[in-house]
A and B are shown apart, each in its own frame.
Chain A
Amino acid sequence: MKKIAIAALTLLTAFAVQAKDWDVVRLAVDVPYEPFEYKAPDGTLTGFEIDLGNAVCEEMGVKCEWVIQAWDGIIPGLLARKYDAIFSSMSITPERAKKVSFSNGYYNTPTGLFAKKGADLDLSNLKGKRVGAQRGTIQDNYATDNFKGAEIMRYGTADELVLDLYGGRLDLVVLDFPVGESTILKGDKGSEYERVGDFLQLGAGVGVALRPRDKDLLEMFNKALDTVKSNGVYDEIRKKYFDYDIKI
């Protein structure tokens, strides 16, 4: 009886120690998603999130291992302990927060407003104008709540949205800036269009997803993220990949 109790106690302490002791943290990433994570020609993983993840691990004093995982199974894989954290541009949403716990956000791509050059829109009064957005996105919600009086046209894909902007059916488009940059400004009629107004920061951004029970690891990530954001390491990495700010 005593022996069993001792054995159980040792086992328990062993577990307790193991739970606290993070020598190696396995990070899941879905590649390619340029410029956040992709493979260089020689096969090594690279990208903004890879560099940031390595910097965060260094700050935490642990060894990081990257695990490549397809997006569809990325949350089940975390819960099945195939890896310890998802570091793969996962937007913080209430639906996902029911399954995983999120660290503080570490980036958020800005939202941009796009219009034809010289259209000279008054953004505070868009009455009677047509504003395009992608259905169900945070940009759609933003336009619905803020551009009262304007007609909000909703599209299934960004491509259809751009087609109607180029075709002259839309006066203004609200779109995730990197998407708008690559489709509208770098499209075949891109030179006729421009970004108007200020960059917007919508939504809670992207965070590290962890198993809800690993509260200690969450703490470690939050502390390390705060440090790299404030000591300049983050900005240095960001400048390598983006010429606009995405820090939140």
Chain B
Amino acid sequence: MFESLTELLNQNDIFTVATLLQYWDGLVTTVQLVFLSLVVGLVIAIPLAILQSLNNPFISKPIWLYVYVFRGTPLLIQLYIIYYGITYIDGIQESFWWHIFKDPFYPALIAFALNTAAYTTEIIRGSIAQTSRGEIEAAKAYGMSWWQMTRRIVLPSAFRRALPAYSNEVIFMLHASAIASVVTIVDLTGAAQNIYSRFYAPFEAFTFVALIYLCLTFLLVFIFRKLEARLLAHLRPRTH
């Protein structure tokens, strides 16, 4: 079985076992990078969104500024600034941190995580602000503290409402990760570029990688649809 597959692949120049392995490594890198960015981004975004909804100007202004800067500049520029900018910090190359920042993966992870955190903060803040007054008044009438109210009433419903918008952010992040290849990370796009430049076959190399991205997107859409069906069931109109 495996041998006949190898034989089939050897009939063309571009999609050999070796190049498919390159694509596979690229896929692993892309999934790692996007997944870690989203996790770190979410961990940053949730506290920031809660703090923002406190309406304390000393807290919300700096958060607003952070969100504004990261939403207001292209991700590619942020990546360049973090990737190349870090090397200009005096003494960094002799410090312990250089082991981390020498690798292009971590500067890219930082840029992507900060970027998606800014967008996610805005998504969650928006849906916290939409919590109906009646629910908050009811919680207060029960004598809940601010933290109890936030934990039991505000956040669960805010997360549910944020889900459709957040699924968009996840898919955008997957596609935005293609720019990781400009700082020498061999993600899916990087693998396609290497294969294209080795075989001078841009159409085959990039079409194949586009299909992989399509499959990944389809998987994400499917997961979020299932999640929404489960978590937003109470918002669907009754059918009987």
Contacts and interface: CB of A to CB of B under 8 A. Distances in A.
Nearest to B199: A136
Contacts of B194: 135, 154
Contacts, number: 32
B102 interface: yes
A156 interface: yes
Given A136-B198, A140-B197, A168 B182 contact: no
A168 B93 contact: yes
Interface string A4-21: 000000000000000000
Given A135-B193, A169-B102, A164 B198 contact: no
Interface in A166-208: 166-169
Contact of B102 (A95, A140, A168): A168
A168 B87 contact: yes
Interface in B181-240: 182, 184, 186, 190, 193-194, 196-198, 200
B104 interface: yes
Interface in A136-183: 136, 140-141, 153-156, 160, 163-164, 166-169
Contacts of B102: 168-169
A164 B87 CA distance: 9
Contacts of B104: 153, 169
Contacts of B98: 168
Contacts of A136: 196-198
Nearest to B185: A153
Contacts of A163: 84
Given A95-B200, A135-B194, A155 B93 contact: no
Nearest to B103: A169
In this complex, the member of B98, B184, B200 whose beta carbon has the largest number of chain A beta carbons within 10 angstroms is B184
Nearest to A166: B87
Contact of A154 (B87, B88, B184, B200): B184
Nearest to A94: B200
B197 A164 contact: no
Nearest to B190: A154
A143 B194 CA distance: 13
Interface string B85-128: 00110000100001000101000000000000000000000000
A147 to B, nearest CB: 15
Contacts of B190: 154
A156 B84 contact: no
A13 to B, nearest CB: 44
A167 B186 CA distance: 20
Interface string A76-112: 0000000000000000000100000000000000000
A140 B186 CA distance: 15
A160 B184 CA distance: 10
Contacts of B197: 135-136, 140
B184 A141 contact: no
Nearest to B186: A154
Given A95-B200, A136-B197, A164 B184 contact: yes
Contacts of B93: 168
Contacts of A141: 198
Contacts of A168: 87, 93, 98, 102
A166 B196 CA distance: 28
A171 to B, nearest CB: 10
A132 B72 CA distance: 33
Interface of B: 84, 87-88, 93, 98, 102, 104, 182, 184, 186, 190, 193-194, 196-198, 200
Given A140-B197, A154-B193, A160-B182, 4 more contacts: A136-B198, A163-B84, A167-B84, A167-B87
20 contacts: A95-B200, A135-B193, A135-B194, A135-B197, A136-B197, A136-B198, A141-B198, A153-B104, A154-B186, A154-B193, A154-B194, A163-B84, A164-B184, A166-B87, A167-B87, A167-B88, A168-B87, A168-B93, A169-B87, A169-B102
